Amino acid sequence: MTRLAGAFPLALLWALPLLASLAMLAPAAADVAAWRMALAHPQLWPALALALTTGGLSSLLALATSLLLIGTLWRSAAWGRLQSVAAAGLALPHLAFAIGFGFLIMPSGLVARLLVGGEAPPQWITVQDPWGIALTLALALKESPFLLTASFAVLSRGDAALRLRQECRAAATLGHAPGSAFLRIVVPPLLKTLRWPLVIVFVYGASVVDMALVLGPTQPPTLAVVIWRALNDAEPATNAMGLAMTLLLTGALALALALVVLLLRFGRRAFHRMLTSGPSLLPAPALAGAIIGFAAFAPLAFASSIVVLLSVAPRWPYPALLPPAVSLSAWTAVAPAALWLSLGLALAAALVAVASAVLWFETQPRARDRWVIGMALAALALPQLASAGGQYRLFLPIGLTGTLPGLFLAQLTPVAAYVLIVLAGPYRGFDVRYMVAARALAASRLSAWRRVKLPLLKAPLLTAAAIGFAVSMAQFVPAQLMAAGRFSTLPMEAVTLASGGNRPLTAAFALMLALPPLAVFFAAALLGRPRWR
């Protein structure tokens, strides 16, 4: 009975609407005309290849960067600072980073102004390059903070951090240098925690639209951009072609992930041998870590400061190193009502998502997780114009569109998906012996949970809530569809204004969207610190 009740909130508020809206996409799979149109599209295959390479390479780069940084800084004095920096990087919206990063490297950008100068900018191919290099780099830089934050969820978790520290000490007494102890003791559980976040990073990178429009190639663009255009069209036939392409992209992503799983399964023995072949003298990667850390965070820091400047510069022509005039007009265009609505929705969605996820983990056997995680990944992998479009068509006949509950449920879909994926690793990895000990000391199930498990899981729970909040603050497509013009959230104001391509306005709104999540991430990092450190 409790088992059924525990699954109820997640099933009713999240899984049911999600499944039903995915089912609305099913007819697209059988639409022969749409498939024919999709397969005849001259950009289909090169665009798919670009999507897979930018998504794949950026995920690997982000993973390598994060592991190096953690290896260098874990247990050092700078660890806490890394957490704050990662939080700041995570809160910066993708679009804001893309604009700032683009202004750094583009032919008329700051680097060219500093290095080349002259009347006219050089004809570099630094942004919108046909190979997607600028997009790959930007994605890797932007996703590293996400992977770092997901790692903190386990490395800062009370029980796990304690165990890892003890094991590292044991490894040191067995003659392992810090680098090799890290590789053998911390990396394996870390990778296990990071596998779902990594999948998200890959799927996100392969399907991102806003960054690809600013930095990505154009002829052909990545497949996500082709799909986005097709789904945005007024013609139903073109929309149907976009849906067929969506299914194709999703299938290709699933195939790529399956290949990775196979590779890992075959490579497992060799990996295991490498990790257990006796003590080694691998030092902590101090220098490499410092260089990579600088290379990863300097662009983030530069890009954010550039976005601030861009938001107050109506004009900033080549080769000026500073804007010739400053105007605050872009900052005055915000409607306060939209801000309050967004804050309320984000808070509610994050809290409901975390609460339903905890109820699920507490009442359901672990084996069932793969179903909700699979659904969460599906929710995140599909372009929102498709998945949110299905949800819209589901809510329309029952009168939920244009209502606050409908808007809330539309926000909850991606928020709960992220929360489930981020929380699953740390929550399921909790050392049950703490609970067994608490129950043995005659604590009730609830009070053992409240007084032992909750404090120990505080960091991952707060991180998950903060990520959920940030995800909600960034929702445009589902909100725009479900609001049907009856409500306006901050992202809706921002994206509709940005459709005019006014750079100061876009920059100002992107920063405004970054501030609430930034505050929440800092609060989460602060509140989530173990008490005994």
Partner 1 sequence: MPFTLTRRSFASLMAMTPFLSPARAEDGWAAIAAEAKGQTVYFNAWAGSPQVNAYIAWAGEELSKRYGITLQHVKLADTAEAVRRVRDEVKAGRQGSADLVWINGENFHVMKEERLLYGPFAEDLPNFALVDVDGKPTTRIDFAESTEGLESPWGMAQLTFFADGAKLGTPPMSMMELLDLAKAEPGRITYPSPPDFHGDTFIKQALVETIEDRSLLPVAVDKATFTGAVTPLFDYLDQLHPHLWRAGKQFPQSQAQVTQMLADGELLMGLTFNPNEAANLVMAGTLPATTVAWQNRDGSIGNTHFVAIPINAKAKAAAQVTANFLLSPEAQARKADIKLWGDPTVLDMDKLAPAQRALFSDARLPGSVTTTARTIPEPHGSWVPLIEAAWLARYGA
Q: Does residue 333 interact with partner 1 by CB under 8 A?
A: yes
Q: Which of 114, 251, 486, 527 binds partner 1 (CB under 8 A)?
A: 486
What is the closest distance, in whole angstroms, from the C-beta atom of residue 323 to partner 1 in the complex?
A: 10
Taking alpha carbons only, the member of 526, 462, 456, 532 closest to residue 157 is 456
Q: Does residue 392 interact with partner 1 by CB under 8 A?
A: yes
Six token digits for residue 255: 């195939």
Q: Does residue 403 interact with partner 1 by CB under 8 A?
A: no
Residue 501 main-chain phi, psi, to 5 deg: 75, 20
Q: Does residue 236 interact with partner 1 by CB under 8 A?
A: yes
What is the closest distance, in whole angstroms, from the C-beta atom of residue 319 to partner 1 in the complex?
A: 8
Burial letters 277-307, b for 16+ CB under 10 A, else e = eeeeebebbeeebeebbeebbebbebbbebb
Q: Does residue 128 interact with partner 1 by CB under 8 A?
A: yes
Pick 477 or 514: Cβ nearer partner 1: 477
Kindly calculate the radius of gyration of the chain based on its CA atoms and give it in whole angstroms: 24
Taking alpha carbons only, the member of 140, 56, 149 closest to residue 468 is 149
Q: Does residue 495 interact with partner 1 by CB under 8 A?
A: yes
CA 268, 274, 277, 280 torsion-angle sign = negative
Pick 46 or 279: Cβ nearer partner 1: 46
Q: Does residue 429 interact with partner 1 by CB under 8 A?
A: no
Contact positions with partner 1 (CB under 8 A) in 341-380: none
Q: Does residue 36 interact with partner 1 by CB under 8 A?
A: no
Contact positions with partner 1 (CB under 8 A) in 237-256: 239
Pick 315 or 451: Cβ nearer partner 1: 315
What is the closest distance, in whole angstroms, from the C-beta atom of residue 91 to partner 1 in the complex?
A: 23
Contact positions with partner 1 (CB under 8 A) in 199-228: 213, 217-221, 225
Six token digits for residue 432: 């049950």
Pick 16 or 233: Cβ nearer partner 1: 233
Rounded Cα distance between 385 and 242, Å, is 10
Q: Does residue 43 interact with partner 1 by CB under 8 A?
A: yes
Burial letters 145-163, b for 16+ CB under 10 A, else e = bbbbbbbbbbbbbbbbbee
- Interface region with partner 1, contact rule CB under 8 A, candidates 170-178, 314-322, 407-415, 445-453: 314-322
Give the single-character DSSP code of 375. H
Torsion, Cα of 64, 65, 68, 71 (10° steps): -110
Rounded to 5°, the CA angle 419-424-427 comes to 110
Rounded Cα distance between 425 and 421, Å, is 8
Q: Which of 34, 96, 345, 481 binds partner 1 (CB under 8 A)?
A: 481
What does the binding site for partner 1 look like in residue numbers (CB under 8 A)? 41-43, 46-47, 106-108, 120-121, 123, 125, 128, 130, 213, 217-221, 225, 229, 232-236, 239, 314-319, 325, 327, 329, 333, 392-393, 396-397, 399, 401-402, 480-481, 484-486, 488, 492-493, 495-503, 505
